[in-house]
A = this chain, B = another copy of it.
Amino acid sequence: MNLRTSCTIKFEIPDPTPFILMLRPRSGGQQWVEREEFKITPHTPVFEFSDTYGNLCQRLIAQPGLFSIHTSSDVIISDYMDQGFDAPFVEIQNLPDSVLSYLLPSRYCESDFFYEMSLSITQGQLLGYNQVAAITDWLRENISYIPGSNNQPLSAIQVNERKFGVCTDLAHLGIALCRGLSIPARIVVGYLHKLKPMDMHAWFEAYIGNRWYTFDATQTGSPSGYVMLGVGRDAADVAIFNQFGPPVYPFEQLIQVEQLSF
């Protein structure tokens, strides 16, 4: 499947304002970026770096006045996301070093509180993929997915109390439940084709059977149409923009995903 994604964000900047952006998709095993645009208007010196999770990030100082970011990319992805029923749990001692940090609690995923609950949700499941599938099913049935229901990320504990949330909230609880079982789990932020209403999206991945698998409790059926922008431990790591100093908010944010005909 070939998807064209785009994201336009516009600000009115009062004072020189530092930003860190995470809007450049990386090519990887799951996606190939065949074309990409990344325009910053007015043009501003930008420094790009890889963060500790391997995301390409851009630093810049937006100058006072209209400041707009426009990115667009054509990405080739599989028609269907891989599923891995029965893929086995990886024993801690066999995990790659680079995956270990995804076992620890993080800002919005207090996994240290979810051991009992994880066990109960996944009772009787084969260790590994089937546990995470059970967690995802449980989220679908117990936590209502209500786009726009909050503006600030909630933590897994808060989501579990509130019983509804946005995509990020469901991902946080899913991640916390996986880590509670010693299954490495991470958040992904990116685009989803046909998401309704269209917006940036977030889902989670779990490390099972020696690879990462995708899970998304906000959707049903076979997952497809995902384009990854960034990965991290939770929403604190994968903001599409971090802005420092007195807060400024975009006056326009437009996300689009369309399928290309070939």
User: Does A221 sit within 8 A of B, measured CB to CB?
Assistant: no
Is there an interface contact between A33 and B27, defined as CB atoms closer than 8 Å?
no
User: Does A52 sit within 8 A of B, measured CB to CB?
Assistant: yes
**Interface-lining segment among A42-50, A161-169, A197-205, A223-231:** A42-50
Of B18, B36, B47, the residue contacting A36 (CB under 8 A) is: B36
Is there an interface contact between A104 and B236, defined as CB atoms closer than 8 Å?
yes
* A98 CB, nearest partner CB in chain B, Å: 8
Q: Which of A207-248 contact B (CB under 8 A)?
A: 236-237, 242, 244-245
* A175 CB, nearest partner CB in chain B, Å: 12
* A71 CB, nearest partner CB in chain B, Å: 10
Is there an interface contact between A18 and B59, defined as CB atoms closer than 8 Å?
no
Q: Chain A 37-58, CB within 8 Å of chain B: the 1/0 string?
A: 1111001011111111010011
Q: Which of A2-42 contact B (CB under 8 A)?
A: 18, 20, 24, 26-29, 32-40
Q: Which of A99-113 contact B (CB under 8 A)?
A: 100-101, 103-107, 109-110, 112
Q: Which residue of B lies closest to A54 (CB)?
A: B50
* A67 CB, nearest partner CB in chain B, Å: 15
With a cutoff of 8 Å between Cβ atoms, the chain B residues found around residue A46 in the complex are 27, 32
Copies of this chain, how many? 4
User: Does A195 sit within 8 A of B, measured CB to CB?
Assistant: no
User: Does A61 sit within 8 A of B, measured CB to CB?
Assistant: yes
Q: Which residue of B lies closest to A18 (CB)?
A: B92
Sorting the interface of chain A by its residue count into under 10, 10 to 19, 20 to 34 or 35 or more gives 35 or more
With a cutoff of 8 Å between Cβ atoms, the chain B residues found around residue A103 in the complex are 242, 244
Is there an interface contact between A93 and B27, defined as CB atoms closer than 8 Å?
no
* A51 CB, nearest partner CB in chain B, Å: 7
Is there an interface contact between A29 and B51, defined as CB atoms closer than 8 Å?
no
Distance, CA A101 to CA B37, complexed state (A): 26
* A162 CB, nearest partner CB in chain B, Å: 17
Considering the complex of A and B, which 3 residue pairs feature the smallest CB-CB distances, nearest first?
Answer: A18-B92, A27-B48, A49-B97
Interface residues, chain A, CB within 8 Å of chain B?
A: 18, 20, 24, 26-29, 32-40, 43, 45-52, 54, 57-61, 76, 91-93, 97, 100-101, 103-107, 109-110, 112, 152, 182, 236-237, 242, 244-245
